[in-house]
Structure 1
Amino acid sequence: MKILFVHQNFPGQFPHLAPALSARGHQVLALTDAENTRPSPVRVVKYASPAAVPGGHPLGRAYCDMAQRGWQAARAARALRDRHGYRPDVILGHSGWGETLFLREIWPDARLLVYAELMYRTRGQDVGFDPEVVPDTDQARIRTVARSAHLIQGLVQADAGLTPTRYQADSFPPELRAKLTVIHDGIDTARVRPDPAATLTLPGGKMLRAGDEVLSYVSRSLEPYRGFHTLMRALPRVLAARPRAQVVLVGAEGTSYGAKPRDAESWKQKLLAELGDRLPLDRVHFLGRVAYADYLSLLQLTRVHCYLTYPFVLSWSLTEAMAAGCQIVASDTEPVRELIRDGEQGRLVPFHDREALEAALICALSGDPAAARLGAAARQAILDGYDLHRHSLPRQIAWVESFG
């Protein structure tokens, strides 16, 4: 088959699937944003980066921006068709940025598949979950409805959709859910595995080793959607109780999912100012974004990994921490409960209960007698259902090829 992947940040969720399909003899091509410089495992063509749409009502701005990106992707698709005679049999694109919106008009005979990551909802998700950040107001709910339009349109137009977890599939309305197949992106458990010899050298020269009293936290950005503010407010008590503990935080200072605070340039700056001298900064290490090898070493050496999230998209960092055999303290929120049962694969605490989080982290750092059992069970859960080569990739390949 001729298979076209579409993703503004390709390979995105497809770093294994695209080359695997190519290796099976399919002609694989990817369409991506002109500003995307990430290495690609397959041949790539690019569309012009969309310009921001000026003016208009704020409620329509999100759809206009997504439609503009869709238009640019469609223009590039039309050039592929008219100048080069390219006609894919299957198109698989991420629907989150609007790139697939108009591809049906360029190639009406192609099977259109979408990676349907999440549907925004007005209840039971981020709106109102954390009143400090996303209040439960009519305005917030109306804004959420407005920014869902392109996601609904993308799935309505598609022949089928792929989503990584049951929680994320269930975020879509029932009348569209039947189009979705749940297959996780997959974890390479041969690479992401426990390593008792792991080390990590911090920017100041201090070396951390497996066995050290290390608390790790990883997020694309240091923001409330991933519980950064909750963890930071717990740290003074945790570090006072564990004077030898070191905290290592990985993530950019900006935001990926929410807004920056109204009274500071970033959530990191806001929390540092709020906590002041109660936080021993010589034992709290902000690494920003790091190379994958360093990130993996951190997971392999940490004594406890903290993962907190709103009811939202599940992070790869949780599944990779589980595959690395980490002892995990996580938020008792719906996407986490799909992988972890309290006391079986990790410890779960209510997202907003700072005292419970403090107690769980102190217990884990001090040497939870169940740590080895919990870490082994966490890894086994990934081996049993989320392993890239045993489960996810074979199922993804079969799913795509079923539309040939």
Structure 2
Amino acid sequence: MNRSELTPARVTQARLPVRVLQFVTGGFSGGATQVAIALTTAALQGDTIEPLLVLRRKRHTDPGRIRELLAAGVPLREVPGWSHAATVAALARVCREFKPDVLVAHGFSEHLWGRYAGLLAGVPHLVHVEHNTRERYTRWRLAQTRWLAKRTERIVGCSEGVRRVLLDMGMPPERTVSIANGIRVEPFADADMHVFAQRTPGIVMVARFSRQKDHATLLRAVARLRERGLTPPVLLAGGGKAGHRAPLVALAEQLGIAAQVEFLGVHRDVPDLLMRHQICVLSTHYEGMPLALIEGMAAGCAVVGSAVPGVREVIHDGIDGRLVPEADVAALADVLQAFLENPEASAQLGAAARATALGDYSRTRMNQAYEALFLSLVKGGSKDV
């Protein structure tokens, strides 16, 4: 392919509705897929955006989730994921059929294949959304990302921390912005009715089992609490690979806390789980925008998170939650002890956390920001990038 074949087509005038194609992994376990689904479903509620969700099929793509989305009326297509070339070719065909004004490619490495397909199909406006502060960029993948950035109208970090990482990677500052991911606040409408003092004084962590998440530090902190005479129940909700979960089950046994710890697997009613407990933890090595932690805040929990980019901008330490150094067992144990022994202070933190989540991180705000972005790109007409 030559460069002329990879130049976005020009749009002579804006038209409504604007056609927006959201391309993302079909793995369902990460935040990128949830954001793409949310943007698609939100567009269906209005008449400004005509959406299409395209999922890159994975070996573990859940056909049940696909059926649920289709039954809910979500316009959805799948493209193969067995090779990058197959993904690009199939997505380019979808683009030629749907003729999107804007193609949004979410997450690593889908943002590469999505934008290649968009260029091949002549999609007028390309948007890259990065959902994490740490990805497996090789030199070759980084070179491709920089090449594609020159042909991409907006590069979006899902938090200010992610935007800064993108700038450090060499993304163009004038086209690199941040739009915070958001949560559905409606499931937490009754959180105030779950009086903090009447909740179970237990610890909830909602996170998939992966290298990214640091369940081990939480378990070791809970073991220290046990040495201090505190034995709160610990509920770990989330999917992920068995190879990451099994060592944690063994660690709980080794630490003597297995009777306190419950591995729930994927939990379909996380809001209820959070609103019935006092404490929400996100122990992690890196984040983009910690939606599970924000849900804990919306639920009115006392929250504590690892002080890594993404988490640091959500929690104001000592005001609406607590931050502890990454992988610091002693610091996490101390904060959890303070939460458990000072329920009135913890309740005040929980109330402040809820106000922050509802005010700053609603999905409505996220949807509006993305819609404004898409309309600005199209209404602004085509331009060289």
Asked if Structure 1 and Structure 2 have the same fold, meaning a TM-score greater than 0.5 normalized by the shorter chain, the answer is yes
In structure 2, relative to structure 1, the CA distance for the partners of 1:4 and 1:191 (3 Å cut) is same
C-alpha deviation, 1:32, in angstroms:
2.1
In structure 2, relative to structure 1, the CA distance for the partners of 1:374 and 1:78 (3 Å cut) is closer
Structure 1 residue aligned with 2:178: 182
Structure 1 residues 76-119: Cα deviation after superposition (integer angstroms, max 9, x where no partner): 2443466x5x4222111214223314224333251111212246
Number of positions where the alignment pairs a residue of Structure 1 with one of Structure 2: 341
C-alpha deviation, 1:277, in angstroms:
5.1
Asked if the contact 2:287–2:311 (Cα under 8 Å) also holds between the matched residues in 1, the reply is no
Structure 1 residue aligned with 2:347: 372
Residues 98-177 of structure 1: matches in 2 within 5 Å?
98-118=112-132, 120=134, 144-173=138-167, 175-176=170-171, 177=173
In structure 2, relative to structure 1, the CA distance for the partners of 1:326 and 1:144 (3 Å cut) is farther
Percent of residue pairs bearing the same amino acid type: 22
1:217 paired residue among 192, 197, 205: 205
C-alpha deviation, 1:309, in angstroms:
1.9
CA distance in 2: counterparts of 1:18 and 1:365, whole angstroms: 41
- Partner amino acid, structure 1, of 2:42: A
Asked if the contact 2:102–2:126 (Cα under 8 Å) also holds between the matched residues in 1, the reply is yes
TM-score, length-normalised on structure 1? 0.75
Structure 1 residue aligned with 2:81: 49
In structure 2, relative to structure 1, the CA distance for the partners of 1:154 and 1:198 (3 Å cut) is farther
Structure 2 residue aligned with 1:349: 324
Structure with the higher fraction of residues in helix conformation: 2
Structure 2 residue aligned with 1:2: 19
Confirm or deny that 1:323 pairs with 2:295. no
CA distance in 2: counterparts of 1:188 and 1:81, whole angstroms: 29
In structure 2, relative to structure 1, the CA distance for the partners of 1:369 and 1:34 (3 Å cut) is closer
Structure 1 residue aligned with 2:369: 395
2:47 paired residue among 14, 24, 29: 24
- Partner amino acid, structure 1, of 2:235: V
Structure 1 residues 273-311: Cα deviation after superposition (integer angstroms, max 9, x where no partner): 4554542322211111111x2x11121111211112224
Asked if the contact 2:285–2:327 (Cα under 8 Å) also holds between the matched residues in 1, the reply is no
Asked if the contact 2:37–2:53 (Cα under 8 Å) also holds between the matched residues in 1, the reply is no
Residues 324-339 of structure 1: matches in 2 within 5 Å?
324-339=299-314
C-alpha deviation, 1:247, in angstroms:
1.0
- Partner amino acid, structure 2, of 1:32: L
1:236 paired residue among 199, 220, 223: 223
Structure 1 residues 339-390: Cα deviation after superposition (integer angstroms, max 9, x where no partner): 112211112222233122112112212234311221111111122222222x
CA distance in 1: counterparts of 2:190 and 2:340, whole angstroms: 18
Larger deviation: 228-237 or 92-101? Answer: 92-101
CA distance in 2: counterparts of 1:6 and 1:306, whole angstroms: 31
The two structures, once aligned, show a CA RMSD in angstroms of 2.9
CA distance in 2: counterparts of 1:49 and 1:303, whole angstroms: 41
1:269 paired residue among 229, 246, 251: 246
TM-score, length-normalised on structure 2? 0.78
Structure 2 residue aligned with 1:59: none
Q: Which runs of 5+ in 2 are unaligned?
A: 1-17, 379-385
Secondary structure at the aligned position of 1:352 is classed as coil
Structure 1 residues 297-333: Cα deviation after superposition (integer angstroms, max 9, x where no partner): 1211112111122243232101111111110122222
Structure 1 residues 246-278: Cα deviation after superposition (integer angstroms, max 9, x where no partner): 111112352xxxxxxxxxx73443344455454
Structure 1 residue aligned with 2:333: 358
Asked if the contact 2:288–2:309 (Cα under 8 Å) also holds between the matched residues in 1, the reply is no
Secondary structure at the aligned position of 1:13 is classed as helix
Q: Which runs of 5+ in 1 are unaligned?
A: 52-67, 122-139, 200-208, 255-264
Asked if the contact 1:305–1:329 (Cα under 8 Å) also holds between the matched residues in 2, the reply is yes
